[in-house]
Amino acid sequence: MAIGIAPDDPSSGGQLSLSKGFGGWRILIFKRGCELRMEEWIMEVRLLLQGQLKELFENAKDLGNRYLQEVMDANKSKDWNQKNTLQFRVRNRGNAIALEWYAISWYGKKDKDRQPRRTYIHKRNKSRRRDAQVFSYSMDELLRHTSGWDDDLVTKVEAEASLYRRQAHYVSDMLVTLGRLERFTTERTDENLAEEAQ
C-alpha cells in the first residue's frame, strides 16, 4: 500500500520517497524542503475540519432551538404538573461541542414566585471500559423527567443529538492528530536546519 506521492511523480520534485517499513508496509519519507508544503496542507485540512465543526455546531444549535420552541408552545397550555421539565443545551468549547440535558425543578409556592433549578443529567457509561466514549443519554433516564406528551419529542431530539456528538468527537480527534503532525513536521524542519548549519 502506497501512501503519499510515488517517487517517480514529477510533482514531488524529489522531495518525497517511499520506503519499505516494518511488516512490508510502504511508508512516506519526508526529505528536506517538503516540510513547507506539508505545513500548507496542514493549514488547509485544519480549515476544512474547523468548518465542519462549525457546521455541526450550527446544526446542533438549530436542533436545540426547534426543541425549545416546541416545548415553550406546548407548555403554555399545560398545568404545572404537566409542563416539560427537560432543558437541552448546546455549547461550543474550543474544538469540542457539548450537547447536554438538564432537569428543571421549580420551587416557590405561588406561580409568579416560582424559580427554576437546573440539574445536569449525566450520560451513563454502559461499557466496562472506563475510557469508553458515551455519545448517547439513557432514554430511561431522560424519560423519567418527561410528562408523557413529550416522550416522542425528547426521543427524536436525543437520537439526532447523539449523531452530532459522535461526529463532533471524531472531527475533534482529527484536529488533535493534525496538531501532532504539525509538531512532528516542525521538529523535522528544525532538525534539518540544524543539520544544514553544521
pLDDT in tens, 89-119: 999 988 899 999 999 887 777 666 777 788 9
> Which segments of the chain belong to CATH 1.10.287?
35-197
Is the pLDDT confidence value at 9 over 70? no
pLDDT computed for residue 188 by the predictor: 67
Fold of 35-197: Helix Hairpins (1.10.287)
Given a contact cutoff of 8 angstroms between Cβ atoms, the answer to whether 85 and 104 are in contact is yes
Given a contact cutoff of 8 angstroms between Cβ atoms, the answer to whether 140 and 123 are in contact is no
Is the pLDDT confidence value at 137 over 70? yes
For residue 148, what are the contacts with CB-CB under 8 A and spacing of at least 6?
Answer: none
The per-residue pLDDT for range 13-57, each reduced to its tens digit, is 544 455 555 555 554 555 555 555 778 888 899 999 999 999 999
pLDDT computed for residue 143 by the predictor: 93
Cα gap 63→54, rounded to integer Å:
14
